[in-house]
Amino acid sequence: MARIQPDIRRGSSRSFFLQHIQNMKALHMIAFILLAIGGINWGLIGLGGFAGSDWNVVNMILGSWPLVEWVVYVLVGISAVWLLVTHKRDCKTCSA
Give pTM, 2 decimals. 0.62
**Is residue 63, in this structure, part of any structural domain at all?**
yes
Answer yes or no: is 10 within a domain.
Answer: no
Residue 33 lies in a domain: yes
Domain count, the chain: 1
Range of the domain at 46: 27-95
Is pLDDT at 42 greater than 50 in this prediction?
A: yes
Q: What is the Cα–Cα distance from 43 to 47, expressed in whole angstroms?
A: 6
pLDDT digits (tens, 9 = 90+) for 47-64: 888 888 888 888 898 888
Q: How confident is the model at residue 11 (pLDDT cuts 50, 70, 90)?
A: low
Q: Across residues 81-93, what is the average pLDDT? A: 78
Asked if residue 84 is part of any domain, the answer here is yes
At 96 the pLDDT is: 47
How is 32-88 classified by DSSP, letter by letter?
HHHHHHHHHHHHHHHHHHHHTS---HHHHHHTT-HHHHHHHHHHHHHHHHHHHHHHH
Identify whether the C-beta of residue 79 lies closer than 8 Å to the C-beta of residue 30: yes
**36 belongs to a structural domain:** yes
Cα separation, 84 vs 64, whole angstroms: 31
